[in-house]
């Protein structure tokens, strides 16, 4: 039986669900899919999560997509010039938690590509949801994961998608190294969202 691109990516994600490993042929399917198309909309990236294409329509904690096994990742917009100044929670690499707030201002007119990571558990447990996202050919510029800043950057949302934002907290852990962002999220009975801003290759 021939697998669809969505099924193939899902299979690759399950291989690397608990730790970042050398990418399999299945995980590299997204790299092949990007050939000859816009790099930002079809990013040359490796994803250890559920890649959603098209993006989901509902991110509400009660009615939206949910999983006790993985998080959801999708492309939002780009290349797009910021329509106003916004604050970015994190702009430097390292390991940190969801209350790390550097809050550096990105000025209106800055051109970015935006991707979104969404976690919403079915059961209210403390078991973390882990995953990672790697951009081999793009530079990560900054991360937004606090609800106030996420809401103020709502012009980057996918048109037609219903978003819900909660704050990342101390138990939510991140590691940003080069073009890779890894996460361990504990949403409990809330949702977690990470807006990843990159250069557009």
pLDDT digits (tens, 9 = 90+) for 18-73: 232 222 222 323 332 332 223 344 445 677 888 999 999 999 999 999 999 999 99
> Of 100, 113, 106, which is closest to residue 86 (Cα–Cα)?
106
Asked whether the predicted pLDDT for residue 10 surpasses 60, the reply is: no
Asked whether the predicted pLDDT for residue 7 surpasses 50, the reply is: no
Based on C-alpha coordinates, what's the Rg of the chain? 16
Q: Report which of residues 13 and 142 the model is more confident about.
A: 142
Q: What is the pLDDT of residue 4?
A: 30
Distance CA 35, CA 184 (A): 31
Return the structure tokens found at 37: 């198309």
Q: Give the tens place of pLDDT for each residue, 128-140.
A: 999 999 998 899 9
Distance CA 28, CA 44 (A): 9
Please report which confidence band the pLDDT of residue 187 belongs to, taking 50, 70 and 90 as the band edges: very high
Q: What is the pLDDT of residue 79?
A: 96
How many CB atoms neighbour CB 91 within 10 A? Answer: 16
Beta pairing, strands 46-48 & 129-134: antiparallel
pTM: 0.79
Asked whether the predicted pLDDT for residue 9 surpasses 60, the reply is: no
Return the structure tokens found at 47: 């994803």
Residue 176 has, within 13 A of its CA and on its CB side, a CA count of: 20
Residue 152: exposure state from Cβ atoms within 10 A (0-12, 13-18, ≥19): middle
Q: Report which of residues 98 and 46 the model is more confident about.
A: 98
Average pLDDT rounded to a whole number, residues 182-190 = 95
Return phi, psi of residue 30, to 5°: -70, -30
């Amino acid at each position: 039986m021939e697998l669809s691109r969505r099924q193939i990516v899902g299979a690759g994600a399950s291989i690397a669900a608990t730790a970042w490993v050398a990418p399999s042929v299945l995980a590299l399917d997204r790299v092949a899919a990007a050939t000859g198309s816009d790099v930002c909309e079809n990013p040359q990236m490796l994803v250890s999560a559920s890649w959603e294409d098209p993006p989901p329509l509902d991110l509400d904690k009660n009615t939206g997509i949910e999983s006790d096994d993985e998080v959801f990742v999708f492309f939002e917009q780009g290349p797009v010039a910021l329509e106003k100044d916004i604050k970015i929670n994190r702009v430097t690499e390292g390991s940190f938690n969801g209350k790390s707030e550097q809050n550096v201002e990105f000025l209106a007119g800055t051109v970015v590509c935006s991707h979104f990571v969404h976690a919403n558990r079915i059961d209210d447990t403390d078991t973390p949801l882990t995953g990672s996202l790697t951009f081999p050919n793009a530079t990560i510029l900054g991360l937004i994961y606090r609800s106030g800043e996420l809401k103020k950057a709502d012009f980057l949302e996918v048109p037609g998608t219903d978003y819900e934002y909660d704050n990342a907290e101390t138990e939510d852990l991140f590691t940003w190294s080069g073009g890779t962002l890894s996460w361990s999220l504990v949403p409990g009975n809330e949702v977690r969202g990470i807006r990843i801003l990159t250069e557009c290759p």
